[in-house]
Amino acid sequence: MNDILTIEDVAQYLRVSEHTVYDWAQKGVIPAGKIGTVWRFKREELEKWLNVRLSGNNRNTEFSEKTERGGIHVETFLSPDRIVFLNHSTRQDALSVLAENLATAPQVKNRRELVDQILRRDALMSTAIGRGIAIPHVRLTSITDLVVSVGISRADIIDFRPLDDEPVRLLFMIAASQNHHAYYLQTLSFFIAHLKNSDLRNSLLNTKTEREAWNILINIGNH
């Protein structure tokens, strides 16, 4: 896996135009450096930058403000049948199983595209955010509305390359349509903020049934 990314790589990962990435680099919005006249981005620095922006620490962002107003209702995009207990030690196996589950949702119109894009995006840059959590996510024109599948792993997933080196055990896979950018970011922010709570993470890891995990998640704001 290449630790130095191009503008094209970053644009693909963030789902923005190359012009936007170039503009951010020029203005110092995004961590970047030049090799000659060409912008390059360190994977680790980009991951840290993205996690900070989505962590809820930036109170001026649109999605953080909406989350504070209670704009996320988990039961609208997650059902008990999209909670999966996993027993895989590699991220490709875990992501494939969870993506196949997510692809059964009526909001997903192209199963193969979803699975391929989830795997391709995580190969480009790990979606592990630390604390044993990964949040793989895509926006595609073949998805009609935001939908989520949750994976609870009974085994440590050892090759996600998280910054804190803690093996991944919880996966929150988010898929949304291309025109749901704000809600998509809002949902990412919501999960990142609430999953900092170790009691919540432990409660999910100790669940025995999909319905038990779902009941915890639909009440996530109470943790």
What number is the average pLDDT over the span 157-180? 89
Q: What is the C-alpha separation between 166 and 131, in angstroms, rounded?
A: 6
pLDDT at position 27, please? 76
pLDDT at position 64, please? 40
pLDDT digits (tens, 9 = 90+) for 65-120: 333 334 688 998 999 999 999 999 999 999 999 999 999 999 999 999 999 999 99
pLDDT digits (tens, 9 = 90+) for 139-158: 899 999 899 999 999 999 98
Token readout for 186 is 């809002």
Helix (H, G, I), strand (E, B) or coil at 33: strand
Q: What is the C-alpha separation between 7 and 131, in angstroms, rounded?
A: 29
Share above pLDDT 70 across residues of the chain, in percent, rounded to a whole number = 88
Number of DSSP helices (H) and strands (E) in the chain, helices first: 9, 9
Question: In this structure, how many other beta carbons lie within 10 angstroms of the beta carbon of residue 2?
Answer: 9
Share above pLDDT 90 across residues of the chain, in percent, rounded to a whole number = 44
Pair 148, 78: CB distance under 8 Å: yes
pLDDT at position 142, please? 93
pLDDT band at 2 (very low <50, low <70, confident <90, very high): low
pLDDT at position 56, please? 47
Q: What is the C-alpha separation between 102 and 84, in angstroms, rounded?
A: 10
Handedness of CA 177, 183, 184, 185 (dihedral sign): positive
pLDDT at position 65, please? 39
Question: What is the DSSP secondary structure assignment for residue 166, as one 8-state letter?
Answer: P
The whole-model pTM stands at 0.72
Q: What is the C-alpha separation between 192 and 128, in angstroms, rounded?
A: 11
pLDDT at position 66, please? 39
Pair 40, 33: CB distance under 8 Å: yes
pLDDT at position 80, please? 94
Question: In this structure, how many other beta carbons lie within 10 angstroms of the beta carbon of residue 187?
Answer: 26
